[in-house]
Structure 1
Amino acid sequence: MSYVHEFILDTFGVENIFWIFYVINLFLSAIAYKLGFAKKLPIAKNIIVYILLMIGVFVLTIFSTVMRMPTVECLIVIIVVLGIYRLRLHNERKD
Structure 2
Amino acid sequence: MYLATTAKTVSPNLAPIAEWLGASDPENAVMAYFVMYLIINALSIVVFNLGFARKLPILKTVVVYVVMFLGNFIITILSFSLPIIESLLIAAVILGVYKIQLRRHKKEEAMAENES
Query: TM class, shorter-chain normalised?
Result: 0.7 to 0.9
Looking at structure 2, the residues matched to 38 and 27 of structure 1 have their Cα atoms a distance apart, in angstroms, of 19
Residue type of the alignment partner of 1:20: V
Looking at structure 2, the residues matched to 15 and 37 of structure 1 have their Cα atoms a distance apart, in angstroms, of 32
Task: Indicate the larger mover: 38-47 or 81-90.
Answer: 38-47
CA deviation vs aligned residue, 1:13-68 (integer Å, no higher than 9, x gap) = 32422222111101111100001115212211110110011122112111012xx1
Looking at structure 2, the residues matched to 28 and 58 of structure 1 have their Cα atoms a distance apart, in angstroms, of 14
Q: Report the identity percentage.
A: 33
Aligned equivalent of 2:91: 78
Aligned equivalent of 2:79: 64
Q: How many residues align?
A: 92
The structure with the greater share of residues assigned to helix is: 1
Pick one of 41, 45, 62 that aligns with 1:30.
Answer: 45
RMSD over equivalenced CA pairs, Å: 1.8
CA deviation vs aligned residue, 1:66-90 (integer Å, no higher than 9, x gap) = xx11111111000000001001100
Aligned equivalent of 1:93: 106
Aligned equivalent of 1:3: 16
State the TM-score, normalizing by the size of structure 1. 0.86
Residue type of the alignment partner of 1:73: E
State the TM-score, normalizing by the size of structure 2. 0.71
Larger radius of gyration: 2
Q: Secondary structure at the match of 2:22?
A: helix
